[in-house]
Structure 1
Amino acid sequence: MSDVAPRGLLLALAVTAAVLAGPPLARAAVRLAARDDAARPSPARVLSSSALLAVLLCGAVLLTGARPATLALAWAAGAAVVLAQVDLAVHRLPDRVTLPAAAVCAAALLADAALLGTWPALLRAVFAAAAAGGIALAAALAAPAGLGLGDVKLLALLGLVLGWAGWGVLLAGVLLGLLAGAAVSLLLVATRRAGWRTALPFGPPLLLGAVLALALGGPLA
């Protein structure tokens, strides 16, 4: 019972945080997409952002419990809610979201290592971020039309978070992201809502793949 009570409290805090942070995140997404600081999100967007964030934050709690690494997952979740909306709207992944998220996640994982001794996981996360970002950068330079620098930075961020969880989680996240992107592309082509050469946002499928990989990886606490 002692384990159930703290976890229930953490989940309640996660939902409360989502209710409080959802509206500002929805507003940030709309303003970044429109490049207009006066833009306002619709009630439906605020509700969906808050609900999605609640699911992601509760997932972070269930995966890691109460530890500094949970903050890394939570902050990455908030960034994902904004990045996915902006990328879907204007095919752009703003540095104003990605870079601070990487800094906060790195600091949280460093604190986790200092307090809990998870240095191997931190080292793996750093190497994974460098590997994912480096490979993505090479792909972007080889085919700029297929992968943008925003995607490169996002992959480095996902490499940091997923690499901390394990190399298998990172590989699964990238693979699931690619499969999700391919499935969406085929669906849009089949329904004639896009052509074979239509540029589609790559960020949301990558983020979905990362979430699925973490969920399939099971508790990390």
Structure 2
Amino acid sequence: MPVTLMVLAAAYGAAAGLLIPRPAHRMAVEPEEEWRAACPRGHAITGVARGWLGPGRCPDCGAYGPGVLPTATVTALVCAALAAATGARPELAVWLVMAPVAVLLTAVDWRVRRLPDELTLPLAAVAAGLLGLVGWLTGEGGVWRRALLGGLVLGAFYLLLYVINPAGIGEGDVKLALALGVALGWYGWPAVVTGGVAGVLIGALYGGGLILFGRSGRKSVMPLGPFMIIGAFGGLLLGGAAAA
């Protein structure tokens, strides 16, 4: 059963990953700019949901933002790993819903150093709502309330970092922390601490490496969202494995 579940999760992740390049290209703009309505070569983006959903490659020239193969591969591996760690537990469905959005956020933040509210805030709401449904179906209402508190605690932690160092932490990072904290909180406070601290440490190590090798200066802006997501991903794997 675990192998079958991993294969199904990987297939789902690959299919979802194929759709990521289009919205990643559209959302990778500066805060004052509107979402892109054309591919890099000027062909209009149309289709389902005003062009948000559809093939990850422009039908006219094949160009968008990130490549289809990398996004499909990464999303497939993430979903398979979550399935392997969590097993056939009901919260796996929530992680599989969140995973493609997390990959999309990573792609956007890496390209333009920002996390759109249109993704971060709905992700937190979806995580809270779906985990609430899981808690109601399984009779684990207390676990759900702890998950909500986890979101508030991790969000407050990043808000404190933002107040202390607004040049290094963005408002989008604080909003993303709400969603990640809700997910991690489902597995308890050790998962919240592990996932939250891991994200900060991995980001700090990456930034330190860039400075050490002369790739950036101390005041250079780097994306923190991808490292927050990687840290939370590790926390979910450990939490899921412990709960399985």
Q: Report the TM-score, using the length of structure 1 for normalisation.
A: 0.89
2:198 to 167, 176, 191: 176
Q: Work out the CA distance in 1 between the residues paired with 2:145 and 2:179.
A: 14
Which residue number corresponds to residue 186 of structure 1? 208
C-alpha contact 1:64 1:70 (8 A) present in aligned 2: yes
C-alpha contact 1:177 1:208 (8 A) present in aligned 2: yes
2:26 to 31, 55, 58: 31
CA deviations over 1:54-106 (Å, ceiling 9, x no partner) = 11111222233334411221122111101111111101101121122222211
The one-letter amino acid paired with 2:6 is L
Residue 141 in 1 paired to residue 163 in 2? yes
C-alpha contact 1:140 1:149 (8 A) present in aligned 2: yes
C-alpha contact 2:195 2:231 (8 A) present in aligned 1: yes
Alignment length (residue pairs): 216
Which residue number corresponds to residue 136 of structure 2? 114
Which residue number corresponds to residue 220 of structure 2? 198
Which residue number corresponds to residue 163 of structure 1? 185
Which residue number corresponds to residue 124 of structure 1? 146
The one-letter amino acid paired with 1:31 is R
Which residue number corresponds to residue 18 of structure 1? 13
The one-letter amino acid paired with 2:145 is L
Question: Structure 2: where are the runs of 5+ without partners?
Answer: 30-34, 40-57
Determine which structure has the larger helix proportion and give its number. 1
Q: Work out the CA distance in 1 between the residues paired with 2:203 and 2:149.
A: 25
**How far did 1:43 drift?**
9.0
Q: Work out the CA distance in 1 between the residues paired with 2:205 and 2:163.
A: 25
**How far did 1:142 drift?**
4.1
**How far did 1:29 drift?**
1.2
Which residue number corresponds to residue 49 of structure 1? 71
Residue 220 in 1 paired to residue 215 in 2? no
C-alpha contact 2:105 2:115 (8 A) present in aligned 1: yes
**How far did 1:38 drift?**
2.4
The one-letter amino acid paired with 2:243 is L
**TM-aligned CA distance change 1:101 to 1:9, over 3 Å:** same
Q: Which secondary structure does the structure 2 equivalent of 1:66 belong to?
A: coil
